[in-house]
């Protein structure tokens, strides 16, 4: 501990650097002893843009000041950085997975200056279905409860069953990716225009949400985004919110069929995504509470790291 750290209170004293390193984005926080976020940095240096052998350089460029000012501070990472194409591969831990088994699977190594790096492993389900996640397991462990259905919207949305603090199973829905394909690479894009009016955008989203349970199914109702414009039933500005409502509604319709009825639903999201998913989940007849995704990620990392303390992880 240097003199600067010694002058701080326990809550102010940094205890780790928490890094969410995904496919397209890098986000890091300097975390204090009471869990507060003391500083943060973000960039577009996602895993897909970093050349082999260049990961350490990116970390040093973005977080080097923290590492210099707080010697010995550990760096805790989760996300696609631990994938086969990431910095170093952290093998998946099989579900059901407890915090202890996830912590035991953390991959640890040192970089220049003796800085310790821990990469949290992803999770795998391999029974009647096969599924994988990386990064979301950390948020799930950081939601602050031990029993819930945890919903994590995104490019590949996750619905996880958390019971007695253990991640029992999960299912992935390619909602965000299919939205990008429909609106950016299909015939639906040809008549679409950017939404301009917030009230009209909400109305079009709700039309898509209703269409998710209408006869014809997803594929037939998706084409209504084009036919509706051609017949005057939809405005060009309605195409994207309609498709969003249709896809989110379809995801929730399928996910809630297998979601345990005795567990509360926690939604790890913010902004318009949280608004859309909350409305869709409530329309499906389930109550839902919203959890801040950034806070859940950091709290999950700290929880995993504290389990690793039992096996001599340097988090003080």
CA angle 78, 83, 85 (to 5 degrees): 130
Phi, psi of 306 (to 5 degrees): -70, -30
Domain pair 3-135+294-309 / 175-293, same fold: yes
Summarize pLDDT for 46-102 with one digit per residue, the tens: 988 999 899 999 999 999 999 999 999 999 999 999 999 999 999 999 999 999 999
**Domain boundaries 3-135+294-309, corresponding CATH code:** 3.30.420.300
For residue 99, the surrounding DSSP H or E stretch is helix 99-104
Cα maximum dimension of the chain: 71
Q: Where are the domains of the chain?
A: 3-135+294-309, 175-293
CA distance 154 to 145: 22
Summarize pLDDT for 147-170 with one digit per residue, the tens: 999 999 999 999 999 999 999 999
SS3 (DSSP) at 52: coil
Q: Which CATH number fits domain 175-293: 3.30.559.10, 3.30.1360.30, 3.30.420.310, 3.40.50.80?
A: 3.30.420.310
Report the predicted TM-score, pTM, of the whole model to 2 decimal places: 0.91
pLDDT tens for the 316 residues of the chain, in order: 454 555 555 557 899 999 999 999 999 999 998 889 999 999 999 988 999 899 999 999 999 999 999 999 999 999 999 999 999 999 999 999 999 999 999 999 999 999 999 999 999 999 888 999 999 999 999 999 999 999 999 999 999 999 999 999 999 999 999 999 999 999 999 999 999 899 999 999 999 999 999 999 999 999 999 999 999 999 999 999 999 999 999 999 999 998 999 999 999 999 999 999 999 999 999 999 999 999 999 999 999 988 877 654 444 4
| Interstrand relation of 115-119 and 75-78 (parallel, antiparallel or unpaired) | parallel
């Amino acid at each position: 501990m240097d003199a600067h750290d010694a002058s701080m209170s326990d809550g102010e004293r940094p205890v780790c650097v928490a890094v969410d390193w995904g496919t397209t984005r890098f986000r890091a926080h300097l975390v204090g002893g009471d869990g507060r976020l003391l500083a943060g940095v973000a960039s577009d240096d996602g895993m897909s843009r970093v050349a082999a052998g260049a990961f350490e350089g990116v970390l040093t460029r973005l977080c080097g000041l923290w590492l210099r000012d707080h010697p010995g501070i550990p760096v805790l990472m989760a996300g696609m950085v631990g994938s086969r194409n990431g910095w170093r591969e952290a093998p998946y831990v099989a579900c059901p997975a407890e915090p202890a088994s996830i912590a035991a699977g953390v991959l640890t190594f040192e970089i220049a200056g003796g800085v310790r790096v821990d990469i949290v492993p992803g999770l795998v389900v391999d029974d009647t279905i096969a599924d994988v996640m990386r990064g979301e397991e950390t948020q799930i462990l950081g939601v602050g409860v031990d029993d819930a259905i945890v919903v994590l919207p995104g490019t590949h949305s996750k619905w996880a069953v958390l019971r007695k603090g253990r991640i029992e199973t999960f299912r992935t829905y390619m909602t965000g990716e299919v939205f990008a394909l429909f609106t950016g690479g299909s015939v639906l894009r040809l008549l679409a225009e950017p939404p301009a009016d917030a009230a009209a955008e909400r109305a079009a989203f709700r039309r898509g949400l209703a269409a998710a349970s209408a006869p014809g199914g997803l594929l037939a109702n998706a084409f209504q985004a084009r036919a509706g414009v051609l017949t005057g039933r939809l405005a060009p500005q309605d195409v994207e919110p309609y498709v969003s409502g249709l896809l989110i509604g379809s995801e929730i319709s399928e996910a809630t069929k297998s979601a345990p009825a005795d567990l509360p639903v926690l939604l790890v999201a913010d902004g318009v995504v949280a608004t859309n998913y909350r409305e869709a989940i409530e329309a499906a007849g389930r109550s839902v509470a919203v959890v801040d995704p950034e806070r859940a990620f950091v709290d999950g990392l700290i929880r995993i790291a504290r389990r690793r303390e039992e096996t001599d992880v340097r988090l003080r």
